[in-house]
Amino acid sequence: MYLVTGATGSLGRRIVRQLREDQESVRAFVRLSAHFGELEDRGAEIFIGDLKIEQDIIKACEGVKYIISSHGGTDAQAIDYRANINLIDRAIANNIEHFVFISVLGVDRGYQDSATFKAKREVEKYLIKSGLNYTILRPSGFANNLIPLAERFRDTGIYFSIGEQQNRSSIVSTDDLARIAIASTKIEAAKNKIFAVGGPDILKREDIPRIFARLFNQEPIVINPPLQLFDGLRFGVGLINPQLNKSLGTLRTLLAHEFFCTRDEITLLESTFNLKLESLESFLRRYVGQ
Ligand SMILES: NC(=O)c1ccc[n+]([C@@H]2O[C@H](COP(=O)([O-])OP(=O)(O)OC[C@H]3O[C@@H](n4cnc5c(N)ncnc54)[C@H](OP(=O)(O)O)[C@@H]3O)[C@@H](O)[C@H]2O)c1
Confidence at residue 146, expressed as pLDDT on a 0 to 100 scale:
98
Residue 78 alpha carbon, nearest atom of ligand 1: 31
Q: Whole-angstrom Cα distance, residue 139 to residue 174?
A: 10
Domain ranges of the chain: 2-142+172-200+263-278
Nearest by Cα to 269 from 162, 149, 181, 145: 181
pLDDT tens digits, 223-250: 999 999 999 999 999 999 998 998 899 9
Per-residue pLDDT of 6-51, as tens digits, reads 999 999 999 999 999 999 999 999 999 999 999 999 999 999 999 9
Query: Does ligand 1 come within 6 angstroms of the Cβ of 156?
Result: no
Segment 133-161 mean pLDDT: 97
Is 289 a residue whose pLDDT tops 90?
no
- Distance of CA 155 from the midpoint of ligand 1 (Å): 28
HEC string of the chain equals CEEEECCCCHHHHHHHHHHHHCCCCEEEEECCCCCCHHHHHCCCEEEECCCCCHHHHHHHCCCCCEEEECCCCCCHHHHHHHHHHHHHHHHHHCCCCEEEEECCCCHHHCCCCCHHHHHHHHHHHHHHHCCCCEEEEEECCEHHHHHHHHHHHHHHCEEECCCCCCCEECCECHHHHHHHHHHCCCCHHHCCEEEEECCCCCEECCHHHHHHHHHHCCCCEEECCCHHHHHHHHHHHHHHCHHHHHHCHHHHHHHHCCECCCHHHHHHHHHHHCCCCCCHHHHHHHHHCC
Please state, as a whole number, how many other Cβ atoms lie within 10 Å of the Cβ of residue 45: 13
CA 168 to centroid of ligand 1, rounded, Å: 23
Under the banding of pLDDT at 50, 70 and 90, the label for residue 134 is very high
What is the whole-number distance in angstroms between the Cα of residue 11 and the centre of ligand 1? 8
Q: Give the per-residue pLDDT at 290.
A: 67
Cβ of 104 closer than 6 Å to ligand 1, yes or no, is: yes
Report the separation in Å between the CA atom of 219 and the middle of ligand 1, taken as the mean of its atom positions.
Answer: 33
Cα 212 to ligand 1 centroid, rounded to whole Å: 26
Whether pTM > 0.75 for this model: the answer is yes
Whether 118 lines ligand 1, by a CB cut-off of 6 Å, is no
Question: Residue 270's pLDDT is what?
Answer: 98
Instruction: Determine whether the shortest distance from the Cβ of 52 to ligand 1 is under 6 A.
Output: yes
Report CA(35)–ligand 1 centroid distance (Å): 14
**Ligand 1 pocket check for 289: Cβ under 6 Å:** no
Per-residue burial over 237-254, b if 16 or more Cβ lie within 10 Å, else e, is: eeeeeeeebebbbbebbb
- Backbone φ and ψ for 164, nearest 5 degrees, come out as -60, 120
Which of 3, 5, 11, 36 for mutating ligand 1's site (highest number of atoms within 8 Å of CB)? 11
The reply to whether ligand 1 has any atom less than 6 angstroms from the CB of 73 is yes
Say whether pLDDT at 2 is over 70. Answer: yes
Average pLDDT, the chain: 97
Q: What's the CATH code, domain 2-142+172-200+263-278?
A: 3.40.50.720
Give the C-alpha distances (Å, rounded to integers) separating 150 from 32, 157, 284. 30, 9, 8
Q: Is the pLDDT of residue 132 over 70?
A: yes
For residues 176-191, give the mean pLDDT. 98
Task: Give yes or no for residue 156 having a pLDDT over 80.
Answer: yes
Ligand 1 contacts CB of residue 217 (under 6 A): no
Q: Is the CB of 112 under 6 A from ligand 1?
A: no
Tell me the C-alpha distance between 195 and 179, whole Å: 14
Nearest CA to ligand 1 atom 27: 73
> Over the stretch 6-15, which tens digit does the pLDDT of each residue have?
999 999 999 9
pLDDT for 143 beyond 90: yes
